[in-house]
Amino acid sequence: MRSTVNLHVNGEPVQAEIEHRQLLVDFLRDDLGLTGTHTGCDTSQCGACVVHVDDVAVKSCSVLAVQMNDCNVTTIEGLATDALHPVQQAFTDEHGLQCGFCTPGMIMTTVDILKRHPDGLDAATARKELEGNLCRCTGYENIVKAVMTAAGSHDHV
Amino acid sequence: MSEQLKTGFGASVPRKEDRRFITGQGRYTDDLKLPGQAYAYFVRSPYAHARILEIDLAAALEAPGVIGILTGEDYEASGLGPLINGWDTRSRDGTPAVMAHRAALTKSEVKFAGEAVAVVIAESRVAARDASELVMIDYEDLPVVTSAVTALEEGALQLHDVAPGNLVFDWDTGDADAVESAFATAAHTVSLDLNNSRLIPNAMEPRAANAVYDPGTGEYTLHLTTQNPHGKRALLSAAIGIAPDHKVRVLSGDVGGGFGSKAPLYPEEVVCLLAAKQLGRPVKWTAERGEAFLTDAHARDHASNVELALDADYQFQALRINTIANLGAYLSTSGTLVPTIMYALIATGQYDFPAAYVRVKGAYTNTAPVDAYRGAGRPEACYAIERIVENAARQLNIDPAELRRRNYVTEFPYRSALDLEYDTGNFTGLLDKALDMIDYTGFQARRAESEARGMKRGIGFSAYIEIAGFGPSKLLSTMGAPGGIWEAAEIRVNGSGSVEVITGCHSHGQGHETTYAQIVCEELGVPIEQVEVIHGDTHRGAAGNGTAGSRSSVGMSAVQGACRKVIAKATDIASHVMEVPVKRLVFKDGQFIDTAGNVAMTMVEVAAAAYTGHDFPTDVIEPGLHEVSFFDPANFTYPAGCYICEVEIDPETGVTRIVDFVAADDFGRIANPMIVHGQVHGGITQGIGQALHEHCAYDPESGQLMTGSFMDYGLPRADDLPPFRIEFVETPCPGNPLGMKGCGEAGAIGATPAVINAVTDALNIEDIEMPATPARVWRALQR
């Protein structure tokens, strides 16, 4: 079964015939070629697939593409156009990435975290907020630093 | 500050590769979609041990989008060879390790759950997966054995006809008689039975392969998640027989973590190549995470008895270890290397032992093959020695720091009882640094404070040492190496002055695109922006051995060697152009300077002249500026460190919290401290993962993997971890020109025993199984 879906992806209008069982992550990667969003686990544990749907962080492996009708989807490719987004900048400044595979999901999650903590957050809160995103390389320490730096805090513990 | 100081060796240069990763422009294997792309989905055995009675493909072949299906019979008919163990490991009696036949698709009898028996190729991933469910296979379920100890017991189930008693090898090293007599006269002896738990590496990017066959040229191209493209090409060519090596191109693009698990050759990559040729389509396969759990090479899984003999002054007299290593259902590429050479040789750790003996028996079981994972053998060695030393200190009522201090190797070079030559080190300095960092003298007060809150506090040490920087080819050739493990580098200085560095090492998170560029920046004096590091393509660089075993130092030394050759040739060119004798020229800060005049040429100008010169005396100076260098160290490197961990355990819940973790590491000279800190963070986290969270469990009755997803297998998360405090003690390594020892595996080697020593200290018990989950800790508290 297929349905026609109209949505915006990174600001551009998209119309597509989508098989009902297709996951959003597969639609983004296979149909739109937006391969910055990754599949890391198949069980919604790792967060490598996090995108924003109507400005809220969503694991794109956990929603169907047909659910996206009339939605605005932002992927890592659409986070910033010319200059880097401050969260992207913080991840490279703090060496918050190594192999880079979890990084797009980490960055999209962090943007969402900072939105929900407009007055800043402490490092313990940042660690809790990152519980839905797995990284095998960094030990999270520099990811937490990147979150704190992007939040304008110097509390790195 | 000069450009070189800001971006040269030793500077925390921001990573050149980051931009593509943070903007979603990384190019991982699964990202690639080729024209005419077909997709593979593997049909895997649901049984851990079963005879294949019949395979019915009729329904699957009729399914929409199916292009073809291959089975074990097709693999056998293809004439391609089996997957092999690449190391010549010999038992004590001189016989070679027993290698059971492993086809890329199994035809008659499966030996572990998840083993590939067929592959469906279809127009889309979902079509292949749908059709795979229509492949009808009749199995006769057979009994299983998952424990290596059980597999070696008298009367155990027999897995492979070629391996009586399931024994792969019975290997040893050291002097058994000397150890025996040391134990007979020792004032004190300590013994401990230890399990080093089984792990699943779980790089975040699942394995993937995309194979292409060009019938016009007869060339295969394999896009692959690998740590070692040249090594894969060699195996595919020489062992499997795909095609001569110049007709096999392995490309690895961006690779999302490896940790050893992307080093071995796997069945799926071979099958994709075969299918691409037979079906005339590019064939892509990407593992689901469940397949990664089932079929990525697993790790560790040792059962050991460790014994320590001491004299009346607590000087170590002898070490004896008997280990049974679980190698899984088949031998993986480094299956026999990891639990022998990589494990046993370094078993005496940082200590001076007059005598030592290690005996290892490897066993086949109905589990996934076991191979290298971060540290690969050395974490098992460190766990054995550091647990027994800590237990000895407790039993003999001597401070664990003092017992270590009393027994450290202090003179270098040092020839160990297991015949390694430790080139350099400062073990006492590392201990002192770590004691200072953790405020050791304040521990009792901290413990009292915890107890006042009803919590149990413990402290644990780990003094790790590893052999790294593989390899010294000559030495390894005496240990069964299949060939030299040198590293190659090519430097191409282009006419514009831009520099391409082509290395056979491989970066899958290590940051080589930055650190290798730093060496070039330092050596050639060119801005780092003009340096491009190229890796992961067997057609760009002629030779290499990939990245494993912290061997980037070997690759970097090759880069330095190639730079020196470039400078030598560029000096000749500058001499010719400037009409100044070579002996009057010096090369400094990127300039060739006439010491007797005031003229100079920059490297950029020389590069331009190298390609545009029209009057070269070509019998003396050939145009161009392109050099290749190989580096092969004479010895291993010996990274070492001292880690101290403090834990607090809630006796109500059994939850262990790491309240402090300090690391003093000696990596020799360091190319980029920022990157090295990151490597240590990641390594320590994997070590903590083993100690407290990660549990690979097979059901002993059925052989089913019970921890086959991230819902069951405890990969550490951000809030499981403390911040780490890391400092360096540098003793430059004499074995390579850059003085480097390597840092990639240290954390994973040193952290595990430090955490378990802290947990057992807090609980005042001799041992606890890993991972020390809240349930296990709570049960230990009820005893």
A74 → chain B, closest CA residue: B24
pLDDT of the residue at B542: 79
Q: Could A138 and B681 be called an inter-chain contact, meaning their C-beta atoms sit closer than 8 Å? A: yes
**DSSP reduced 3-state for B42:** strand
Q: Could you write out the DSSP letters of every residue in B318-348?
A: EEEEEEEEE--SS--TTTTTTTTHHHHTTTT
* Burial of B292 per CB tally in 10 Å (0-12, 13-18, 19+): buried
Percent of chain B at pLDDT exceeding 70:
99
Average pLDDT of span B757-778: 98
Same domain for A26 and A47, yes or no, is yes
- Digit-coded pLDDT (tens) for B475-524: 999 999 988 899 999 999 999 999 999 999 999 999 999 999 999 999 99
- Chain B partners of A84 at a C-beta cutoff of 8 Å? 19, 22-23
Are residues B718 and A130, on separate chains, in Cβ contact within 8 Å?
yes
Q: Are residues A91 and A74 in the same domain?
A: no
> Using CA atoms, how far apart are residues B378 and B639, in angstroms rounded to an integer?
11
Whether residue A70 sits in one domain with residue A25: yes
Q: Name B395's Cβ contacts closer than 8 Å, sequence gap at least 6.
A: B188, B190
Looking at A45, A78, A111, which one is the last position of a domain? Answer: A78
The b/e string for B449-488 (b: 16+ C-beta within 10 A; e otherwise) is ebeeeebbbbbbbbbbbbbbbbbbbebbeebbbbebbbbb
User: Would you say residue B746 has pLDDT above 90?
Assistant: yes
Q: What is the CA radius of gyration of chain B?
A: 27
Q: Does A97 contact chain B (CB < 8 Å)? A: yes
Each residue's pLDDT tens digit, B126-169:
999 999 999 999 999 999 999 999 999 999 999 999 999 999 99
The domain spanning residue A122 has which CATH number?
1.10.150.120
CB B403 within 8 A of CB B392: yes
Coil, strand or helix: which one is B361?
Answer: strand
Angle among Cα B568, B569, B570 to the nearest 5 degrees reads 95
Looking at the predicted structure, is the pLDDT value of residue B212 above 70?
yes
**Beta strands B38-44 and B283-286, pairing class:** parallel
Decide if B709 and A130 are in contact by the 8 Å CB cutoff: no
Query: Are residue A148 and residue A93 in the same domain, yes or no?
Result: yes
> Are A103 and B289 an interchain contact pair (Cβ–Cβ within 8 Å)?
no
Q: Which residues of B103-134 are buried (b: 16+ CB within 10 A; e: fewer)?
A: bbbbeebbbbbbbbbbbbbbbbbbbbebbbeb
Shortest CA gap B531–chain A (Å): 19
Q: Hey, what amino acid is at A119?
A: D
Nearest residue of A to residue B719, measured between CA atoms? A127
User: Max alpha carbon distance in chain B (Å)?
Assistant: 88
H/E segment holding residue B431: helix B427-438
User: Using CB atoms, which residue from A80, A126, A136 is nearest to B204?
Assistant: A136
Q: What is the pLDDT of residue B220?
A: 98
H helices of B8-110, in order, are: 18-22, 58-62, 72-78
- In this structure, the answer to whether residues A7 and A41 fall within a common structural domain is yes
pLDDT greater than 60 at residue A157: no
Q: Is A13 on the interface with B (CB under 8 A)?
A: no
Distance from CA of A6 to the nearest CA of B (A): 23
- List chain B residues with CB under 8 Å of A104: 21-22, 24
CA distance B472 to chain A (A): 28
Query: Cβ separation of B719 and A124 shorter than 8 Å?
Result: yes
Report the SS3 class of residue B641.
Answer: strand
**Looking at A78, A103, A124, which one is the last position of a domain?**
A78
The Cα B758–Cα B646 span in angstroms is 6
pLDDT over 80 (residue B3)? no
Q: What is d(CA B325, CA B289) in angstroms, rounded to the nearest whole number?
A: 26
Domain interval for residue A23: 2-78
Residue among A92, A98, A155 with most chain B CBs within 10 A, to mutate:
A98
pLDDT value, residue B628: 97
Q: Do A101 and B26 touch (CB under 8 A)?
A: yes
A128 touches chain B (CB under 8 A): yes
Contact B710 A124 (CB under 8 A): no
Mutate to test the interface with B, among A136, A147, A148 (most CBs of B within 10 A): A136
pLDDT given at position B113: 98
Question: Which residue, B769, B774, B777, is CA-closest to B195?
Answer: B769
A6 and A65 share a domain? yes
B22: chain A residues, CB-CB within 8 Å: 76, 84, 88, 91-92, 97, 100, 103-104, 107
Best of B18, B289, B515, B672 to substitute, by most chain A Cβ atoms within 10 angstroms, is B18
Of A77, A95, A99, the CB nearest to B508: A99
Containing B129, the helix (H) or strand (E) segment is helix B125-132
**Exposed, middle or buried by CB within 10 Å (0-12, 13-18, 19+), for B748?**
buried
Tell me the C-alpha distance between B716 and A139, whole Å.
Answer: 8
What mean pLDDT, rounded, does chain B reach? Answer: 96
Q: Based on the domain organization, do A9 and A61 belong to the same domain?
A: yes
CB contact under 8 A, B678 and A91: no
Tell me: pLDDT of A82 over 50.
yes
- Of the residues A78, A111, A134, the one at which a domain ends: A78
Sorted by sequence, the CB contacts under 8 Å of residue A17 that are 6+ apart come out as: A2, A3, A4, A5
State the DSSP H helix or E strand holding residue B126, giving kind and residue range, or none if neither: helix B125-132
Residues in chain B: 783
B91 has pLDDT over 70: yes
Q: Which two tokens stand for residue B370?
A: 């076991």
Tokens representing residue B509 in the block: 């998170």
CB < 8 Å to A92, chain B? 14-15, 18-19, 22
Q: Which of A21, A43, A104 sits opposite B709 (nearest CB)?
A: A43
Domain co-membership, A97 together with A70: no
Q: What is the pLDDT of residue B2?
A: 59
Chain position carrying tokens 């090759």: B558
Assess contact for B193 and B304: CB atoms under 8 A: yes
- Neighbouring C-alpha atoms within 13 Å toward the C-beta of B667: 27
Say which residue the tokens 């007055």 belong to.
Answer: A119
Given a cut of 80, whether residue B5 has pLDDT beyond it is no
d(CA B610, CA B616): 9
Q: How many CB atoms lie within 10 A of CB A8?
A: 16
The pLDDT of residue B506: 94
The residues, any chain, with a CB within 8 Å of residue B705's CB and separated by 6 or more, are B113, B114, B293, B294, B368, B696, B697, B698
Which residue shows structure tokens 């240990």?
B479
pLDDT band at A153 (very low <50, low <70, confident <90, very high): confident
Which residues on chain A are in Cβ contact (under 8 Å) with B125? 26, 30
**Strand ranges across the sheet with B38-44:** B66-71, B116-122, B38-44, B283-286, B208-214, B219-224, B248-251
How are the residues of chain B apportioned to helix, strand and coil, as percentages rounded to the nearest 5? 30, 25, 45
CA distance B685 to A141: 10
Same domain, A12 and A59: yes
CATH of the domain at A19: 3.10.20.30
Instruction: Kindly report whether the peptide bond that precedes residue B482 is cis, defined as omega within 30 degrees of 0.
Output: no
Task: Determine the average pLDDT of the residues in A28-47.
Answer: 97
Domain count, chain A: 2
User: Concatenated DSSP letters for B759-774?
Assistant: HHHHHT-S--PSS--H
**Distances, alpha carbon B533 to alpha carbons B283, B506, B541, in Å:** 29, 10, 11
Please list, in sequence order, all residues whose beta carbon lies within 8 angstroms of the beta carbon of residue B96, skipping any fewer than 6 positions away: B88, B89, B90
Contact B511 A98 (CB under 8 A): yes
Predicted TM-score (pTM) of this structure: 0.97
Q: Cβ contacts (< 8 Å) between A29 and chain B: which residues?
A: 31
Question: What is the pLDDT at residue B297?
Answer: 98
Contact status of A136 with chain B (Cβ, < 8 Å): yes
Residues A50 and A99 in one domain: no
Question: Does one domain contain both A91 and A152?
Answer: yes
**ipTM of predicted complex:** 0.98
Q: Which residues contact B504 (CB under 8 A, 6 or more apart)?
A: B230, B487, B488, B489, B535, B541, B543, B544, B545, B546, B555
Contact A84 B256 (CB under 8 A): no
Which pLDDT value is given to residue A39?
98
Q: Say if residue B1's pLDDT is above 50.
A: no
Residues 53-82 of A with CB under 8 A from B: 75-77, 79-80
CA distance B174 to B340: 12
A136 vs B28, B202, B288: nearest CB: B202
State pLDDT tens for residues B616-637: 888 889 999 999 999 999 999 9
Q: Is B149 exposed, middle or buried (0-12, 13-18, 19+ CB in 10 A)?
A: middle
The band of B553, judged by pLDDT with boundaries at 50, 70 and 90, is: confident
* Amino acid in position B79: G
Query: Does B554 have pLDDT greater than 90?
Result: no
What does the pLDDT look like over A104-140, one tens digit per residue? 999 999 999 999 999 999 999 999 999 999 999 999 9
Q: Quick one: A74 and A90 in the same domain?
A: no
Please spell the DSSP secondary structure of B470-523, one letter per residue. Answer: ---HHHHHTTT-SS---EEEEEEE-TTS-EEEEESS--SSS-HHHHHHHHHHHH
Query: Contacts of residue A131 in chain B, CB cutoff 8 Å?
Result: 717-719
Q: Which residue has the tokens 């664990």?
A: B400
Contact in structure between B601 and B625 (CB atoms under 8 Å): no
Which of A38, A88, A141 lies closest to B23 in CB terms? A88
A with B: how many residue pairs have Cβ under 8 Å apart?
184
In the predicted structure, residue A24 carries a pLDDT above the cut 70: yes
pLDDT for the residue numbered A155: 62
Mapping DSSP onto H, E and C, the string for B599-616 reads CEEEHHHHHHHHHHCCCC
Q: How close does chain B come to A60, measured CA to CA in Å? A: 15
Q: What is the pLDDT of residue B482?
A: 87
Among B23, B204, B711, beta carbon nearest to A99? B204
For residues B11-32, average pLDDT: 97
- β-strand pairing of B355-363 with B316-326: parallel
pLDDT at B26: 98
Give strand pairing partners of B192. B306
Residue B461's pLDDT is what? 98
Give the whole-angstrom CA distance, residue B491 versus residue B495. Answer: 13
Q: How far is B231 from chain A (nearest CA, A)?
A: 21
